[in-house]
Structure 1
């Protein structure tokens, strides 16, 4: 392989940290995310997954599936602490580490001290287990798309390698939901057309992909052929900032929702001003009592970062909405970011 990319993904990270810190939880169905019925599952242990519990599931549904589960509030300060230890190990292997989240990353080890990519993967797994006490899964390939696909292959605690000679046959039986860049709506639309597996898409020409996916069509066309030219980029800049909360009681009272948006605007603005960042796209997200997500956005012609300006746009968005049922979650996100670089000027 010309390039050697690893995708490293911690196994059930939050739940695994809880089990490591409290040995009494080992082997038990641990669900992290909240203890009230209004919460959402952040992560659950593999013992809980056997019952059908999964991330992003409402707690009340998880409780029905796994009433004997141990439900814990997340300790995010602790997860960040453990994550920092793990990422330090990654950066000892290669400086080319691109974080995707608190518990997963791409590593480009093409020019690292390791000539054998499997040796590098085993080294990382052993170091993390010895020093942190957690397991992880690693996908190895010659590009990002295939490495990420591979890391999910033998979870938990697995290693999977995808080489050029395995393409496209290894991809064809996979569901199209596995294609990076395809959202749920696109998957549903393709399923309605009778396209369920990658092999169903593979037979179509480039023109089909451009027609259905627009400017991203060529990327999708290439990925199912094992082509992905994205490079591993260390210290990826954040593209958005947001806050959201699940309400204690469902509501369609816009005055009540506006209070949450005001609080979110203040918190987001505080962060933006501290970092000297400006934005021009504001998105309000809400989830109805029947768990249907809605997002509404407005993009300005100019950049802002003041709480009052963000809040005013958020209110405009929410006032235009007609709720068909009560709301259980409200959120606010800002994007289209511009960072102002400030230089200290001297008198001379």
Structure 2
């Protein structure tokens, strides 16, 4: 979720020049909140937080009304309630969000086969081939908005541009429920006044490095010598940022986006120091990650853990193995070994997470002359078959018996920041 609260909303006139803007970025507005309001229409116009009041849950999503008080995704709900005491807190329903996401993606695919989903609530569309049948890009964008509303009752915002990056910026600036065209010959005039932090790939540290050198707008970055940028942010990043700042983004629509990683995290209700409890949670998380890998047809070579201590400091450790795996026990063994190598000194732990990346299609993983995971692989494939008939929680490792297992949402992965979650159930909303 961005910091967009609708206060600086921009939309295009009906006669905006869309002749060179075949790329649409369609983004649902406050998606999780909007889905919840379908069941609670009497709450429209009020500040809404999707999350759990109990324990130390974080904000999954917030309405635009709540954002104006400073409420943001991933913020502790307790902090959000201090900022906005009048907010209504609604528990998340992740299965419902997935259902509505599927409906939205079906609408996109009814307009063009060139659809690239970015997360549960946004996608790029290339409508070049639909112009003859459906009209100009702006006409198609308005049609998409109406079809999504008719099919789901949910609002969305659309950005149109000559490139993916600019279309994504435009949709964010048009929120909520807007449509913004950036004519191809006005791309630089649109980009250059924006803050440098609006560039894809500019996080807090990079933004600080740039502003320390007097580079505060995209226009200033566009006129900065490449050598200076590369000294500031590295060779590859400097070149990429300079191209984006000058409106250069040659990427087309990726029809088969490969997940970059799969991860699960959990925040404990109270801080934990007992290594037995912590490693039992790693076992649970490793199993959930492996299930998602197998469901997606992937295996991965790099296994990582993430540990957040009670003082909010974070430690990550990773290890790359010889053959890619999607076996939960192998993922756990590596994660537990990484955990054992940490010098914790008895420190209290707030959060643990497990991630697998360097993903490849499972049928390309290729075991060696012998498969060290063979027995566990067969056992987990049996678990998958049982789960397909009786549900994900029908069978679990003996060490987890008597312990509530958490379901994974099974999202498209966290390549855009959506798969990793800072709470027991589901991801933080990536919508704007």
Q: Same fold judged by TM-score > 0.5? A: yes
Tell me the C-alpha RMSD between the 2 structures.
2.1
Distance (whole Å) between structure 1 residues aligned to residue 161 and residue 46 of structure 2: 34
Post-superposition CA distance 1:89-118 (Å, at most 9, x none): 111110111111111000000111334111
- The question of 1:98 aligning with 2:116 is answered yes
Distance (whole Å) between structure 2 residues aligned to residue 289 and residue 188 of structure 1: 27
Cα distance 1:245–1:7, how it changes in 2: closer, same or farther (>3 A)? same
Match of 2:136 in 1: 116
Match of 1:337 in 2: 359
Correspondence for 1:55 among 73, 91, 95 = 73
State how 1:155-234 maps to structure 2 within 5 Å: 155-211=175-231, 212-234=233-255
Cα distance 1:40–1:163, how it changes in 2: closer, same or farther (>3 A)? same
Distance (whole Å) between structure 2 residues aligned to residue 133 and residue 273 of structure 1: 33
- 1 or 2 for the larger relative contact order (CA 8 Å, sep ≥6)? 2
Match of 1:143 in 2: 163
Deviation at 1:251, TM superposition (A): 2.9
Match of 2:42 in 1: 24
Say whether the 8 Å CA contact 1:99–1:235 is kept in structure 2: no
Distance (whole Å) between structure 1 residues aligned to residue 299 and residue 23 of structure 2: 34
Distance (whole Å) between structure 1 residues aligned to residue 326 and residue 201 of structure 2: 30
Correspondence for 1:36 among 49, 54, 65 = 54
Post-superposition CA distance 1:175-197 (Å, at most 9, x none): 22211122333223323334332
Unmatched 5+ stretches in structure 1: 343-348
> So what's the TM-score if we normalise by structure 1?
0.91
Distance (whole Å) between structure 2 residues aligned to residue 122 and residue 306 of structure 1: 45
Q: Which runs of 4 or more aligned residues in structure 1 lie more than 6 Å from their structure 2 counterparts after TM superposition? A: none
> So what's the TM-score if we normalise by structure 2?
0.74
Cα distance 1:292–1:201, how it changes in 2: closer, same or farther (>3 A)? farther
Deviation at 1:292, TM superposition (A): 4.3
Distance (whole Å) between structure 1 residues aligned to residue 249 and residue 134 of structure 2: 23
Distance (whole Å) between structure 2 residues aligned to residue 327 and residue 194 of structure 1: 39
SS where residue 45 of structure 2 aligns? coil
